[in-house]
Amino acid sequence: MAKEAISIVLAGDLVLDEPDGAYWLAGIAPALRAADLAVGHLEVPHTASVVELKGDVPAPGAPPENLAAIAQAGFGMLSLAGNHIADCGSQGIADTLAGLDAHGVHHTGAALTLAAARAPAIVTRGGHRIALLSYNCVGPENSWAGKDTAGCAFLRVDTADGAPIAPAAALTTLTAEAVATLREDIAAARQQADIVLVALHKGIVHTPAQLAPYERAVSHTAIDAGADVVIGHHAHIVRGIEFYRGKPIFHGLGNGCVVTSALSPAQDHPARAEWVDRRRKLFGFEPDPAYTLAPFHPEAVNAFLGTIRLHGGGAMDVGIIPVDVEAPGRPVLASPARAADIRSYVERITQKAGLPAITIAADGRVEEVGA
């Protein structure tokens, strides 16, 4: 089959705990629907289960009906491997998978067994076969799938002090086990697809610019193993963009659409209330009180969607679509003035993170300086 030029839009974390998911997604839906494929990261299970997994700050199950809104907004593919997807236990994962299947949304990264969680999601657009793989790099370990147990796919990263792997741990070095997993899974996906996307739940939350010691290593390893695009999320604030061997690495897509009361200062859940206090001490910021449903670092209002333009001959253009986050947490396509601010912001944090300098044109195209 002859290949056509296609566009792929990439979004970060999706947490739709509030009713009327269609409203919260409406501000970015035009960009999602305009693409041939929109890919996002589903952060929490969509389930009525009230089970709470211990090991991280537990997220409540999101309304199952919001999966329909995610599909209707234009998402055709979702990564699931993250630190909250197992928060409502195996039933929460099973309910989420069933809901996504019912709405025709392809998914990977969490399942009822590890083998199923590691299997790629594959779609065809314009003659291009596109595979997505998804891994959790940050734990907690009890959210990871086993041979016969539900959970998410994972890449093991050593901690500086040998402590258990968890989102708040000092994660430092990619393990040989993780390298082997990436090589095996990407090789298998490459047998079935022309383009391989690798989604990594990684990094340091609520902190501008800074990359953890392992982040470039795991991203480079994925590309060395055959990935075409690396997609990062988890930090709830965007990160810089890097090109390695000519392939793009979005080190952090930030929040695709996060609207939740579970992180707000007003909490009646002990573990979540404790996290609100600890977050303040760990990261040294107070959320803007207007952002009741997205109480993140003030710089997190500078958001974007990643874009990939695949040409029929295999060439790839990389870009961003600037997104502004309006109070109390609704993402919208940025106005021209805000878009210019956001492009400049992404250029600055890329350099601040120690990555090669990039330029972002007025049309959103991203290029490495001197490339």
Angstrom distance (rounded) from CA 137 to CA 344 = 29
**Mean predicted confidence (pLDDT) in 56-77:** 92
pLDDT at 261: 84
Evaluate if residue 160 carries a pLDDT over 90. no
Q: Provide the pLDDT for residue 131.
A: 98
* Of the options 3.10.20.30, 3.60.21.10, 3.40.50.2300, 3.20.20.70, the CATH number for the domain spanning 6-368: 3.60.21.10
Is the pLDDT at 283 greater than 90? The verdict is: no
The answer to whether residue 169 scores a pLDDT higher than 90 is no
Q: Examine the pLDDT at 58 and tell me if it is beyond 80.
A: no
Q: Look at residue 278 in the predicted model and tell me its pLDDT.
A: 65
Residue-level pLDDT at 265: 59
Q: Which residues contact 289 (CB under 8 A, 6 or more apart)?
A: none
Residue-level pLDDT at 56: 64
315 versus 241: which is more confidently predicted?
A: 241
User: Residue 225's pLDDT is what?
Assistant: 98
The whole-number pLDDT of residue 235 equals 96
Tell me the average pLDDT across 354-366: 98
Tell me the per-residue pLDDT of 322-356, one tens digit each, with 9 for 90 and over: 999 999 999 999 999 999 999 999 999 999 999 99
CB contact set of 95 (below 8 Å; sequence gap of 6+):
45, 46, 47, 48, 49, 61, 64, 88
pLDDT on residue 264: 64
Spatial separation of the C-alpha atoms in residues 58 and 53, rounded to whole Å:
7
Q: Give the residue-averaged pLDDT of 112-130.
A: 97
* 179 and 208 Cβ atoms separated by less than 8 Å: no
> Is the pLDDT assigned to residue 371 strictly greater than 90?
no
pLDDT greater than 70 at residue 269:
no
Highest mean pLDDT: which of 133-142, 156-165, 311-320? 133-142
Q: What's the pLDDT at 166?
A: 82
User: Residue 333's beta-bridge partner residues?
Assistant: 323
Domain boundaries, the chain: 6-368
**The pLDDT value given to residue 255:** 98
pLDDT tens for 186-207 read 999 999 999 999 999 999 999 9
Confidence of residue 164 (pLDDT cuts 50, 70, 90): confident
**CA–CA separation, 362 and 63 (whole Å):** 38
| Average pLDDT over the chain, rounded to an integer | 93
Percent of the chain whose pLDDT exceeds 90: 83
**Confidence tier at 314 by pLDDT (50, 70, 90):** confident
Q: Is residue 263 pLDDT above 80, yes or no?
A: no
User: pTM for this one?
Assistant: 0.95
Residues 314-322, mean pLDDT to the nearest whole number? 95
Quick check: 162 pLDDT over 90? Answer: no
User: Is the separation of the CB atoms in 130 and 194 below 8 Å?
Assistant: yes
* Residue in the block written with tokens 């470039």: 216
Angle CA(6)–CA(309)–CA(240) in degrees, nearest 5?
145
Question: What pLDDT, on the 0 to 100 scale, is given for residue 284?
Answer: 73
**Residues 238, 252: contact at Cβ < 8 Å?**
yes
Q: What pLDDT, in 10s, does the model give residues 104-120?
A: 999 999 999 999 999 99
* pLDDT reading at 277 higher than 70: no
